[in-house]
Amino acid sequence: MSDTTPAVEPHRYTADLAAEIESRWQDEWEKRGTFHAPNPTGPLGDPDGSADRPKAYVMDMFPYPSGAGLHVGHPLGYIATDVYSRYLRMTGHNVLHTLGYDAFGLPAEQYAVQTGTHPRVTTEANIANMRQQLRRLGLGHDSRRSVSTIDPGYYKWTQWIFLQIFNSWYDESAGRARPIAELVEQFAAGTRETPDGRPWSRLSAAERSSVLDDFRLAYAKQAPVNWCPGLGTVLANEEVTADGRSERGNFPVFRANLRQWMMRITAYADRLLGDLDLLDWPEAIKLQQRNWIGRSEGARVDFAVDGHDERITVFTTRPDTLFGATYMVLAPEHGLVDTVVADAWPEGVPGVWTGGAATPAEAVAAYRKQAQSKSDVERQTEGKDKTGVFTGAHAVNPVTGKRIPVFIADYVLMGYGTGAIMAVPGQDERDWEFAEAFELPIVRTVEPPEGWEGEAFTGQGPAINSANDEISLNGLAVGEAKQRITEWLEARGIGEGTVNYRLRDWLFSRQRYWGEPFPIVYDEEGVPHALPDSMLPVELPEIEDYSPRTFDPDDADTSPETPLSRNEEWVEATLDLGDGPKKYRRETNTMPNWAGSCWYELRYLDPENTEQVVDPAVEEYWMGPKAPGGSGGVDLYVGGAEHAVLHLLYARFWHKVLFDLGHVSSKEPFHRLFNQGMIQAYVYRDSRGFPVPAAEVEERDGKFFHQGEQVKRELGKMGKSLKNAVTPDEICAEYGADTLRLYEMAMGPLDVSRPWDTRAVIGSYRFLQRLWRNVVDESTGEVVVTDDEPDEATLRALHKTIDGVRADMEGLRFNTAIAKATELNNHLTKAGSVPRSVAEPLVLLVAPLAPHIAEELWRKLGHETSLVHEPFPVADPALVQDEAVTCVVQIKGKVKARLEVPPSISDSELEALALADAAVQSALGGADIRKVVVRAPKLVNIVPA
RNA sequence: GUCCCGGUAGCCCAAAGGCAGAGGCGAUGGUCUCAAACACCAUUCAGUGUGGGUUCGAAUCCCACUCGGGACACCA
């Protein structure tokens, strides 16, 4: 039997050996706390460990612990940050790198409901499973800092931050948040007037509470919100897609008037916008944030309503076109609609204006009902045909004095501007379409260019038809005209220049179980009270029925029910909030899953601190601005681009509040952001279009077959549902974690999406095997490096590689770094013998990428300690250049000859050498020379006359 | 519809405006083997999506088109 057993060399770098090396070094690192990053002070403090080294804070967007387990796409970013962190450690930095878990939220809860197990049980099991999977990859995380958002010790501080926000207001004059107590002082002292003018002392507790709610940065308010019956919860604007569906689950979302918690993020709109300039982020993400915040400059204009005292206020970016405003439109939900709606249709009203109703009130009611019953997605699919009805009311154009009809139409959105517009069909495409459909007059107030045959003209041009007895804009350019008319409106007190934002306040409550409870209770009058810090955390109660109450996804006439309200014992509480024990009812909404991820970068810094969210000295060390006026923040934050306006906007907002209140020294949470690409995978579909298991597909002559049947190939995401998931566990088992790490980094640039190809993984495996063989004899296990001096070519190859790899590491170009290391490794393989003075730096160069094999080789080379803090090799500049370089001689850009020249050759020497070359002479054929371009030492280009 | 990003060898990807190739996969041939796998050695393949322009010289800069990916989409 023995002669059929393959004779594998006993010391070959096989998957088995890799597995043994890897688990041994993982244990070793853990035992020694190799990746513990010392703080300057506190429980994790070690002033000696941090004092003399520059710091680096590297972070990944932390994961949701999915029940499905990881596929090879998930750890891409984690591997990249680990490689970079290891490189930084070897270049003398104190590196903080860890990974926590974002474990509250819908998916975790949905998974629990599916499996019939409590979300805490499933979530904790998922975290344990994920930790296991990730540990196997050899990620150098500081495990002491691995927080989880569901731990009461963590969400105590999430609740604490909520209270900080709740107990703050935005002082516009100071341009920052301040404690609400300072506002109360102003009211009490009379230095600030109450909204209705009565002295503060005369207001009841409920009235005071109501006044303060209009200032608090977190407040509960009855407002139109996004209600998603299919999920049984309300959602933030950011969680609703453009076609009116929930981002998660793709259910229809309806408008409903509900009392919900909101965060006054709009107070920070200008700072969230302006401070983007301080950040080193991809332009695409900055652009998305700018668009989401949607700053636009314009003017507010008041329109008198014929027969009413109320005025309709509009926001417009084109006040210069005011003379062309021939009608007005209110959003169907606008509060003034009921006030202005006329009793009867005026004489001679056009038929299309009435919607066929007998009175304006009936028309308005019918239109509103129709608009409300349609979900946004239906409005969308019905195209952009303009609909609306006349209210029977007329407003007065303040510059022309003309009576103009007031409509309601759903192309005007309640959520933007004032929910009302002045319609200028001559300069606005939407207004033009509406005007055509409703036979309304069109007045051009900007002269279109000659030959203009379009409809609305939105471009630049001189104003026309824009004069009355007091003011004329005629002839002015758009910008000037805006300025003039705005001044005129301000002087008359009927308008002013203003800035409008698209950003809305953040809807912060959810009707789900699996989230942080609010640290808020209500007294018997329904006044909300913040719990004192001493009562934190408010723990999430264990309840029997944690399922959300969900409804028919299309049924808009439903309303949410909070799971926590089912537990009367928890809801009813007798507490002493400073004025003796009293009965209170707890808030039963929970926070959205974004809450925990809004501030975790701070808790990583000081996870064991029970007194403070983070010790200011620790925060300043890791995140403080490097220069006055700088943003501060995490040095490198890596994650997917899908969080462009959700997590990244919310986290910036919370951070700025904490900055204003003096809890942190950094203005921004994440100084540098990098979006990694996605690992894609081929999806194979059968004739019915169903995915077939990708692993079972065979390729023949460029066609693909599954069980004999031809299938179609397309590129898609990796995942269970597409039957194309490849797990890190299987790759580790087949080749080892170092091979997986190396392959993922070698596939291409980090920020580019690219398809996974399991067949190609073997290339990275071969590289490591060759590296191993260059140091270790496969049959004896003996170290085979020599103490000889390397030859000139090898020495220069080494220093070129060091130089290149360093630059690539700095720039996160791991794919090219690997190519350079491979080149050197192949050079050594060919050379036959490997000098120690080359093998050692090569092992160090590879160490950040393939740390386990590097540690093992380092030990075999005779070193007692781990190479994690070993200095990264430094290139000798004199050896980076080749001794002789090949100079190309071109004639009109075409290569005609090559010269071997020293790199230091001068332009004139090189030119002479090139012109003297026989091949060049014959190619020129005696022609005159017009010009010679010399780029010493690599190129000469001769241009004949 | 608007705005971003990208099209280089059969595939994944490299190339400060200067010889289109660093690296890997695959394929082919060879060494090893009774044979195969592994490993090793060698070879192979594109003129850079298309059309113009700038330049002594363009994958690289500019313009138009095209294909693919992404973001936004009645935002007044």
Query: Domain residue spans in chain A?
Result: 296-500, 682-716, 884-944
What does the pLDDT read at residue A4?
39
| Residue A417 approaches strand B within 7 Å at CB | yes
What does the pLDDT read at residue A253?
83
Q: Pseudo-torsion of CA A451, A457, A461, A464, nearest 10°?
A: 90
| Residue A642 approaches strand B within 7 Å at CB | yes
What does the pLDDT read at residue A931?
84
Q: How far is the CA of A911 from the C1' of B68 (A)?
A: 46
Q: Is there a contact between A149 and A101 (Cβ–Cβ < 8 Å)?
A: yes
Nucleotide nearest to A423 (CA to C1'): B76
> Nearest residue to B22, CA vs C1'?
A819
> Which strand B bases fall within 7 angstroms of a protein CB?
3-5, 11-16, 18-20, 22-26, 34-37, 39-42, 56-58, 69-76
Query: Residue A338 half-sphere exposure, CB side, CA atoms within 13 Å?
Result: 2
Chain A residues 200-259 with Cβ under 7 Å of strand B are 242
According to CATH, what is the number of the domain A296-500? Answer: 3.90.740.10
Largest CA distance in chain A: 111
Domain pair A296-500 / A884-944, same fold: no
Strands (E) located in A445-503: 495-500
DSSP category for residue A298: E
Residues of chain A with pLDDT below 50 are 1-6
Q: How far is the CA of A10 from the C1' of B34 (A)?
A: 23
Q: How far is the CA of A89 from the C1' of B73 (A)?
A: 46
The residue among A192, A76, A103, A256 whose CA lies nearest residue A681 is A76
Is residue A829 classed as helix, strand or coil in its secondary structure?
helix
Taken in order A536, A537, A540, A542, the sign of the CA dihedral is negative
What amino acid occupies position A849?
L
**How far is residue A213's CA from residue A389's CA, in Å, rounded to a whole number?**
36
Q: Is A720 annotated as a binding residue?
A: yes
What does the pLDDT read at residue A6?
46
What does the pLDDT read at residue A375?
54
| Residue A410 approaches strand B within 7 Å at CB | yes
What amino acid occupies position A49?
G
What does the pLDDT read at residue A373?
65
Q: How far is the CA of A83 from the C1' of B14 (A)?
A: 21
| Residue A192 approaches strand B within 7 Å at CB | no
Residue with token string 């009936």: A362
Residue with token string 């290339």: A763
CATH of region A884-944, choose from 3.40.1280.10, 3.40.50.720, 3.10.20.590, 3.30.2310.20 = 3.10.20.590
Nucleotide nearest to A940 (CA to C1'): B18
Copy the structure tokens of residue A741.
């790490």
Q: How far is the CA of A385 from the C1' of B71 (A)?
A: 25
Q: How far is the CA of A805 from the C1' of B53 (A)?
A: 38
User: Terminal CA-to-CA distance of chain A, rounded, Å?
Assistant: 80
Nucleotide nearest to A431 (CA to C1'): B76
**How far is residue A241's CA from residue A376's CA, in Å, rounded to a whole number?**
10
